[in-house]
C-alpha cells in the first residue's frame, strides 16, 4: 500500500487541515505504510501531483484543501485535479477529498475515468474553529476536533485496508457518536451540531463497479 | 401564515441561535479564506446571502433530523 497526500497551507482553513492530517501521516508511519510523499505547503502543486500520479502508483490518495464541483485545489488555489481534464490520473486508486463540493462532478467523473473509489463532499465542507486562540496549534482546538476526528476516520480506515464503503461507514459512525455525545452532554459547543450533521449528510462514497 | 412571514420567523430564530454562540468562534464554509465570526454570520443570514440561506437550511435540516437521530451506544472504533 502506497499513500500520497496533499496538504496545502496558505490560509486558515488549510492551516487546520494541514495540522489535523498530521495524525493520519503519523498513523500510517506507525503501521509501517509508505507515504510516497506528503505534498505539503508549496509542494501541493499541479506539477508535483501529476508527476507522482503518473510515475508512482499510490493506491490511496488524499487531497486536502479547497474545491468546487469539478476541481480540487492545491497551494494558493492552484487547480490540481480537474474533471474531464486530468481525472484519468486517478485511475485504479482510492481517493479521499477533504474539500468542498467535488463529490458533485469530479467524483462521478473520477469513477468513470477508472478510480476505484471516491469519498468526498457534495456540498461545502464546514468547520468551526477558535482560530484566534488555536491558529498556532490547531490540534488543540476543541471546536475543530469533531470535524476532523470524523473526517480523518476515512483515512484511518483506508489505511487499515478497508474497502471505501466500509471506511466511509466508519467515518459516519464517528459523526453519529460525536453528534450523540454533543446532544446528550452539557457541552457549550453544542452549536456546532448542525454543521457536523451537514458534513455527515453530504459526505458521499462512490465505488467503481468495474474494479 | 404567509410563506414570507414564516421565513422571517425562521430567520429570526436562526439569528437568535447565532447570538448564543461565543464571539471567539468562527465558521469556515466554502472557499472563503477565513472564517465568519458570529456577527458576520448574522449579517449573512439577515441579508439572505447564499451563505446565509445555506446556513438556515442546515439549521432546519438538523432540527428536523432530531426525531430520527438514535442515541449511539459507545462505538468501538480504533484506528
Q: For position B4, what pLDDT does the model report?
A: 59
All three cell numbers of B51:
451563505
% pLDDT > 70, chain B: 78
What's the confidence (pLDDT) of residue A184? Answer: 85
Instruction: Provide the b/e sequence for A156-189 (b: ≥16 CB within 10 Å).
Output: bbbbbebbbeebbebbbbbbbbbbbebeeeeeeb
CA–CA distances in Å: residue A143 to residues A128, A131, A192, A193, B24: 6, 10, 7, 10, 11
Residues of B in contact with A123 (CB under 8 A): 54
User: Residue A164 and residue A59: Cα distance in Å, rounded?
Assistant: 12
- Answer whether residue B79 shows pLDDT above 50: no
> With an 8 Å Cβ cutoff, are A177 and B31 in contact?
no
Cα–Cα distances in Å, from B45 out to A42, A191, B63?
Answer: 35, 16, 17
Tell me which chain B residues have a C-beta less than 8 angstroms from the C-beta of A140: none
Cα A96 vs. chain centroid, distance in angstroms? Answer: 5
Instruction: Give yes or no for residue B78 having a pLDDT over 80.
Output: no
With bands split at pLDDT 50, 70 and 90, how would you rate the model's confidence at B70?
low
Q: Over range B8-32, report the average pLDDT.
A: 91
Longest dimension (CA), chain B: 51
Count of alpha carbons within 13 Å of A182, Cβ hemisphere only?
Answer: 23
The boundaries of the domain holding residue B56 are 3-64
In a domain, B76, yes or no: no
Number of domains in chain B: 1
Q: Which residue of B has its CA nearest to A131?
A: B26
B71 within some domain: no
Q: What is the mean pLDDT of chain A?
A: 94
Q: Who has greater pLDDT, B75 or A87?
A: A87
pLDDT above 90 for A35: no
| Confidence at B65, pLDDT banded by 50, 70, 90 | confident
Measured distance CA(A121)–CA(A119) in Å, rounded: 7
Alpha carbon distance B13, A46 (integer Å): 44
Work out the mean pLDDT of chain B and round it to a whole number. 82
The mean pLDDT of A156-166, rounded to a whole number, is 97
Instruction: Identify all chain B residues contacting A78, using CB atoms and an 8 Å cutoff.
Output: none
Q: How confident is the model at residue B71 (pLDDT cuts 50, 70, 90)?
A: low
CA distance, residue B2 to nearest chain A CA (Å): 26
Q: Evaluate whether residue B41 is within a structural domain.
A: yes
Report yes or no on B75 lying in a domain.
no
Highest mean pLDDT among A113-122, A176-185, B25-34: A113-122
Query: Residue with C-alpha cell 500500500?
Result: A1
Tell me the average pLDDT across A50-76: 94
DSSP class of residue A120 equals E
Which of B29, B35, B79 faces A157 most closely, judged by CB atoms? B79
Residue B79 within any structural domain of the chain = no
Q: In what order do the strands lie in the sheet with A2-7?
A: A34-40, A2-7, A60-64, A94-98, A117-121, A203-207
> B52 lies in a domain?
yes
A174 to chain B, closest Cα gap in Å: 8
Question: How is residue A96 written as a grid cell?
Answer: 479521499
Could you read off the pLDDT of A135-150 as tens digits, one per residue?
999 999 999 999 999 9
> CB A180 to CB B71 under 8 A?
yes
Is residue B29 in a domain? yes
Within a domain: B73: no
Distances (CA, A) of A63 to A102, A128, B4: 11, 20, 41
Given a cut of 80, whether residue B69 has pLDDT beyond it is: no
Amino acid at each position: 500500500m502506497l499513500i500520497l497526500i496533499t496538504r496545502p497551507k496558505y490560509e486558515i482553513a488549510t492551516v487546520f487541515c494541514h495540522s489535523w492530517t498530521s495524525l493520519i501521516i503519523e498513523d500510517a508511519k506507525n503501521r509501517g505504510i509508505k507515504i510516497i510523499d506528503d505534498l505539503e505547503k508549496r509542494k501541493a502543486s499541479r506539477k508535483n501531483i501529476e508527476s507522482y500520479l503518473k510515475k508512482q502508483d499510490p493506491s490511496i490518495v488524499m487531497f486536502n484543501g479547497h474545491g468546487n464541483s469539478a476541481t480540487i485545489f492545491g497551494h494558493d488555489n492552484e487547480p490540481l485535479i480537474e474533471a474531464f481534464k486530468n481525472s484519468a490520473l486517478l485511475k485504479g486508486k482510492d481517493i479521499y477529498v477533504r474539500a468542498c463540493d467535488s463529490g458533485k462532478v469530479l467524483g462521478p467523473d473520477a469513477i468513470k475515468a477508472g478510480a476505484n473509489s471516491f469519498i468526498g463532499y457534495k456540498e461545502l465542507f464546514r468547520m468551526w474553529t477558535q482560530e484566534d486562540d488555536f491558529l498556532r496549534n490547531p490540534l488543540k482546538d476543541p471546536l475543530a476536533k469533531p470535524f476532523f476526528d470524523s473526517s480523518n476516520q476515512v483515512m484511518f480506515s483506508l489505511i487499515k485496508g478497508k474497502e471505501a464503503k466500509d471506511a466511509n461507514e466508519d467515518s459516519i459512525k464517528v459523526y453519529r457518536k460525536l453528534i450523540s455525545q454533543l446532544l446528550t452532554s452539557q457541552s457549550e459547543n453544542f452549536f456546532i451540531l448542525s454543521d457536523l450533521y451537514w458534513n455527515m449528510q453530504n459526505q458521499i462514497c462512490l465505488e467503481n463497479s468495474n474494479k | 401564515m404567509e410563506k414570507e412571514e414564516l421565513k422571517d420567523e425562521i430567520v429570526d430564530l436562526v439569528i437568535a441561535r447565532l447570538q448564543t454562540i461565543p464571539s471567539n468562534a468562527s465558521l469556515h464554509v466554502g472557499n472563503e479564506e477565513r472564517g465568519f465570526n458570529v456577527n458576520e454570520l448574522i449579517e449573512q443570514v439577515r441579508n439572505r446571502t447564499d451563505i446565509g440561506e445555506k446556513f438556515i437550511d442546515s439549521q432546519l435540516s438538523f432540527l428536523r433530523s432530531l426525531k430520527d437521530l438514535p442515541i449511539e451506544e459507545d462505538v468501538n472504533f480504533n484506528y
